[in-house]
Chains A and B, each alone.
Chain A
């Protein structure tokens, strides 16, 4: 049982935030790299989000009026989709993983710090390479880049697109290897697999998918590049190639990639819901193992993206696997509802976004099951129903989890609290902006509006105006959190080590954590979600005695700035 006599690890030296210049250069500190990932991906998010605004602006009317021609529109949705996936969601979760995994495991850094920095520094040039396409004729074959659109009908920017994705894939693989090794080898004594925070489980499952699936993308991209620059004909059926080859290999990576983009969000959600409900995770083992189940089953569903081009006899097996993968996801949903049920819920910004995730992701999951059914898929294929589905999963799911994660861990990363009032305004604008942007797309899709078109039948205009105006609200909402972060990092209330009174190890050090995170080896509490017990209260009180009082969101009272720099003697365990 945990008691206040535990030899607690922690910071001895006064901690202060690293200088801005440290974030702009090569560093092997996982915390710096984590922030580098997050800020870089936020910049790409704004760029790709601006493209989304232009797309919606164009679609306010049924005719082309904003764009010069259809190709400009094709370029917009191609780069919007590619950047949102590869330079926003994936690296943003890598940023969370980089910052949090060593802290959660009580480690001083990632297993391979140099490799970690290298993986990050592949991302900015890769993102710029994507945008550089504008100088040579940008990619316009969609983020899926099916041949022959991506081979004989696309300008040179498509080659830059493929090179860029190659770099981003390499970055992902290196990051994935690093996460797996860190989680496997660097857990502290007393932290078995089933004492690990669920975010670590989610990151592990994600990394397994990354290292097993991304090499297939690398293979496919190599063929695409050779077809484009070396005159090969792998995808040209006239010369003995196979146009469906790309689809098979691409989706063998890209469907598991959906889980790369959402599993870390599941992990974040588990942390937030438990901490802010003050309750243990309901069915911890099932949540942990369901992440692994999703990782495994995720490799068996790729061909449901190809129902319209697949041999009929192969459709039903893939339909069945597509339904099966809903089971571990459903386990998580029930577990999260069980976790918050009867809890002492703090309805702060992090919790609001977590609850927003829960409600929106369920809608995305249900529409996913619908699309997994062959007849529905054939009817809805390439319509706005599909656009709606994946935005409910990737925005309603992943982006809401990212926002929730930012509100939850910003105090740890910066030592300052985010402004709660702005957080709630951000949530309301985002939630309703999102709902009215993407829910009507279900109706548009069912009525037959195709995706990836700049011109459409005038009968769809009213709903498109509603979608467009809501999208602008959603776009504006992003600047609320950016403003909140910029102001709070300077003027926010001092957070202290553990303002949420959380039990996982990242909170058992000062905010922001010092270099190498802990002095001595921190002792994890026996159950990372064991809230509501005397033992956990004693553990948290001992931590508070060691690190000083933290900001209490329930009884707001400003702490002096010195609170984050505890002048404590090392304990016996240091």
Chain B
């Protein structure tokens, strides 16, 4: 099996540490995605227990959200590509791709932020919508800031190779998390 660049030349202790990090971030993702599942269930239960869902014509349309979803999906593909590139020692190409991911992330947050602002206020629908999208945007922004730090450190070349490669891998995994969480909300908010 081909090993990532990250896995080459590690001591036994470093290999153990890498394995721990990978398992740890996976468990964190599984755990924290359940907070999003919780909010999706909240949406679902509140709809059934009280009749506050507006008519389809009065709800937010799916166009902007669908564009945002496409943008986020594209950014996830790019981040996957950038991890492959950095593993092939193409740092400058990696940085370009990484910057594009951040840019697409900003576009995504801008589009959903726009929806957040224009949703008709004073209704339970708006309240639940703002809770869910706000919660997601909060995570996207935090993880986006982390991606920005990875970019800045890449430009400054302040990391040694192993630490930096791990930071890239972790950033990518966290961005996938943003995508999966959004897909869940996108379906629940706009399609069900």
- Interface positions of A (Cβ within 8 A of B): 111-112, 173, 176-178, 180-182, 184-186, 211-212, 214-216, 218-220, 222-223, 226, 232-234, 237, 239-242, 244-245, 248-249
CA distance A219 to B128 in the complex (A): 13
What 6 additional pairs, Cβ within 8 angstroms, besides A181-B20, A242-B49?
A216-B38, A219-B42, A223-B131, A234-B42, A245-B42, A249-B41
B114 interface residue per 8 A CB criterion: no
Question: With A216-B38, A249-B41 as given contacts, are A239 and B124 in contact (CB-CB < 8 Å)?
Answer: yes
Contacts of B30 in A (CB 8 A): 211-212
B135 interface residue per 8 A CB criterion: yes
Contacts of A241 in B (CB 8 A): 46, 50, 124
Contacts of A232 in B (CB 8 A): 127, 131
Contact of A223 among B20, B42, B49 (CB under 8 A): B42
B49-A212 in contact (CB<8A): no
B16-A186 in contact (CB<8A): yes
Question: Closest residue of chain A to B24, judged by CB?
Answer: A181
A248-B45 in contact (CB<8A): yes
Question: Closest residue of chain A to B122, judged by CB?
Answer: A239
B88 interface residue per 8 A CB criterion: no
Contacts of A226 in B (CB 8 A): 131
Contacts of A182 in B (CB 8 A): 20
B39 interface residue per 8 A CB criterion: yes
Question: Closest residue of chain A to B50, judged by CB?
Answer: A240
CA distance A176 to B34 in the complex (A): 15
Contacts of B37 in A (CB 8 A): 215
B91 to chain A, nearest CB (A): 28
- Interface positions of B (Cβ within 8 A of A): 16, 19-20, 23-24, 27-28, 30-35, 37-39, 41-42, 45-46, 49-50, 52, 123-124, 127-128, 131, 135
A234-B39 in contact (CB<8A): no
Question: With A111-B20, A234-B46, A245-B45 as given contacts, are A177 and B28 in contact (CB-CB < 8 Å)?
Answer: yes
Contacts of B128 in A (CB 8 A): 234
Contacts of A242 in B (CB 8 A): 45-46, 49-50
Question: With A180-B27, A239-B124, A240-B124 as given contacts, are A212 and B46 in contact (CB-CB < 8 Å)?
Answer: no
B111 to chain A, nearest CB (A): 24
B19-A185 in contact (CB<8A): yes
Task: For the complex of A and B, list the 3 residue pairs with the smallest distance between their C-beta atoms, beginning with the closest.
Answer: A219-B38, A240-B124, A211-B31
A184-B23 in contact (CB<8A): yes
A245-B49 in contact (CB<8A): yes
Question: With A241-B124, A244-B49 as given contacts, are A177 and B38 in contact (CB-CB < 8 Å)?
Answer: no
The B interface is mostly helix, strand or loop, or mixed, namely helix
Question: Closest residue of chain B to A219, judged by CB?
Answer: B38
B160 to chain A, nearest CB (A): 18
Question: Closest residue of chain A to B41, judged by CB?
Answer: A249
Question: With A185-B16, A185-B19, A185-B23 as given contacts, are A215 and B127 in contact (CB-CB < 8 Å)?
Answer: no
CA distance A181 to B16 in the complex (A): 11
Question: Closest residue of chain A to B31, judged by CB?
Answer: A211
CA distance A237 to B27 in the complex (A): 36
A-B contact pairs, 16 of them (CB 8 A): A178-B24, A180-B23, A180-B27, A185-B19, A215-B34, A216-B34, A218-B38, A222-B131, A232-B127, A233-B127, A234-B46, A239-B124, A240-B46, A240-B123, A244-B49, A249-B38
Question: Closest residue of chain B to A231, judged by CB?
Answer: B127
A360 to chain B, nearest CB (A): 33
Contact of A177 among B27, B34, B49 (CB under 8 A): B27
Contacts of B46 in A (CB 8 A): 234, 240-242, 245
A233-B24 in contact (CB<8A): no
A181-B23 in contact (CB<8A): yes
A238 to chain B, nearest CB (A): 10
CA distance A220 to B35 in the complex (A): 9
Contacts of B39 in A (CB 8 A): 219
CA distance A368 to B45 in the complex (A): 28
Contacts of A237 in B (CB 8 A): 50
Contacts of A212 in B (CB 8 A): 30-31, 34
CA distance A212 to B123 in the complex (A): 32
A181-B27 in contact (CB<8A): yes
A254 to chain B, nearest CB (A): 13
B184 to chain A, nearest CB (A): 13
B123 to chain A, nearest CB (A): 8
Question: Closest residue of chain A to B130, judged by CB?
Answer: A232
B16-A177 in contact (CB<8A): no
CA distance A241 to B128 in the complex (A): 10
Contacts of B24 in A (CB 8 A): 111-112, 177-178, 181
Question: Closest residue of chain B to A245, judged by CB?
Answer: B45
CA distance A324 to B124 in the complex (A): 39
CA distance A239 to B51 in the complex (A): 11
A177-B127 in contact (CB<8A): no
CA distance A226 to B138 in the complex (A): 15
CA distance A212 to B124 in the complex (A): 28
CA distance A216 to B36 in the complex (A): 9
